[in-house]
Amino acid sequence: MASPDSVKILEVYKVAPAANNHSQESAAELSLPFTFYDSTWLKFPPTQNLFFYKFTGSTSDIFHSIIFPTLKESLAHTLVHFCPLAGHLTWPPNEPRPIIVYSQNHGVPLALVESNANLDDYISNDIHEAAAARPYVPALHISETMAWTMALQVTLFPGKGFCIGITTHHAVFDGKSAYIFLRAWAYTSKQIEKGESVSLSPELIPSFDRTVVKDPGEFESMYLNHWLAVNELESQSNPRSLKVSNFFGTIPNDFVRSSFYLSPESIKKIKERVITYLQHQQKNSGLIEPAKRLHISTFVLTCAYALVCMVKSKRVSNKKVAFVFGVDCRSRLNISPLIPENYFGNAIILHDMVVEAGDFYDENGVASIAKKLGDYISGLEKGLLEGAKERLERLSYVGDETLKFGIAGATRLAFYNMEFGWGKPVKVEIPSINVNALSVMEGRDGNGVEIGLGLMKHEMEAFASLFAQGLNVMQ
């Protein structure tokens, strides 16, 4: 695996929105206010994504003469529609909330790096040291008074392939917005690679209209006051400091990552087991009326199966377990107008489901957890934003009696479709997944679900064994 000494920085660029005939679509300068959704994530660690590509008929010479110049040029054209990503985040003393500012002298930092590590080490789902990904993750500058919104890095593995790394400020945009940007960049890159004129399809053009976000519970002041209190506890010299808080503590030396795959067939088997258990439970209860409809989605099934394996791998049995996940509020709130699907920013509200650890060890633990999570999600139809204050207090509390697990991503995010003109990625990794967290995305073959997680080495080995054994039993 790679070490920091295995990479060499060749060049660092500042890429601004392209100045061309379409420049009227790009503002000369702008100031974009925060919403309460953005404020939720103000001091969270940045989000990191890595996309590894293998050369298929290409060479290092072609990379330097065609691939990287095309990536750089297409980025500039894409930023015409995504100007805030070329700006930075700040919280001036005269502003009630943080803002994103952009002017024509701003740009996105793009580093060109070369590595002598073996790219093939990243293609498999084998367990590897979490630190191995660090050389390929672009650094995002964050100070007390200013933070970049995004940083990019392209790393060449001579003769093998390349990696596109992206680090984003979580308070600027969520996973769905990042997905829109990456799709737009990939789409534009393919147009330039083919010699076609550059234009984006309507669904890839973002909306920055903040008027569609309503704050019925005055959540913005609640979250901002929370962060001001955090800054005071951390003895920050600036009460409005933007520096990231260390929520997750120091990453241990034997912290590792790996990926696991649930095929459509495996998900179907898990679903059949869940339904059989619930039908048996209903029959034994003597209910005559049909049971209420359960929300048994791929997300629910994936999380239930992975969480059971995670809790067992940690050998936790005498605590409560909190599962923390985000819910996309686009087009789901009972407000007018709805937040559109192409809204760019944050539109995620955090929720948590608390379960006794013993429930995970039951013979039908996966079905039991799936039912609880399905019931919880079904209940969200009554109010996605209800209980936000109480959840903030629970999630902010650090105690030993509750073990918290977090999730990033969504089972429908097709990150393996990020094709810039030279094939799809052979591996996608989310290095920002920390202790007791997992990520989910669509599988690399376009179906199923890929699960990424970070654990201590002995826990990961136990997880891998439990994951495989559980699927074998269902065959």
Strand partners, 116: none
Q: In what order do the strands lie in the sheet containing 99-103?
A: 29-33, 99-103, 88-90, 147-148
Q: Spell out a b/e string for 205-240, using b for 16 or more CB atoms within 10 Å of the CB, else e.
A: ebebeeebbeeeeebbebbbebbeebbeeeebeeeb
Sign of CA dihedral 386, 390, 395, 400: negative
Residue type (1 letter), 473: V
| Buried-state track 346-375, b at ≥16 Cβ within 10 A, e below 16 | bbbbebbbebebeebeeebbbbbbbbbbbe
Q: What is the pLDDT along the chain (475 residues), one digit of tens a residue?
A: 555 558 999 999 999 999 864 444 556 678 999 999 999 999 999 999 999 999 988 888 999 999 999 999 999 999 999 999 999 999 999 999 999 999 888 999 999 999 999 998 878 778 999 888 999 999 999 999 999 999 999 999 999 999 999 999 999 999 999 999 999 999 999 999 999 999 999 999 999 999 999 888 789 999 999 999 989 988 788 999 999 987 766 777 889 999 999 999 999 999 999 998 888 877 776 654 444 566 789 999 999 999 999 999 999 878 899 999 999 999 777 777 889 999 999 999 999 999 999 999 988 999 999 999 999 988 887 678 888 888 888 887 766 778 889 998 899 999 999 999 999 999 999 999 877 889 999 998 889 999 999 999 999 999 999 999 999 887 6
Distance CA 4, CA 336 (A): 50
* Domains defined along the chain, listed by start: 7-234 (3.30.559.10), 255-473 (3.30.559.10)
Can you read off the two tokens belonging to residue 293?
A: 């409809």
**Distance (Å, whole) CA 100 – CA 219:** 19
The residue type found at 65 is S
Dihedrals phi, psi of 197, to nearest 5 degrees? -70, 150
Decide if 135 contacts 4 (C-beta within 8 A).
Answer: yes
Q: What are the beta bridge partners of residue 285?
A: none
Tokens representing 78 are 């894409």
Rg, Å, the chain Cα set: 23
Both tokens of 75, joined, read: 């980025």
Amino acid letter, 339: I
In whole angstroms, what is the distance from residue 386 CA to residue 382 CA?
A: 9
The phi-psi region of residue 421 (left if phi > 0; otherwise alpha if psi is between -120 and 50; otherwise beta) is: left
DSSP class per residue in 393-449: HHHH---TTEEEEEEEE-TT--GGG---SS---SEEE-TT--BTEEEEEE-TTSSSE
Half-sphere exposure in the Cβ direction for 14 (13 Å, CA): 7
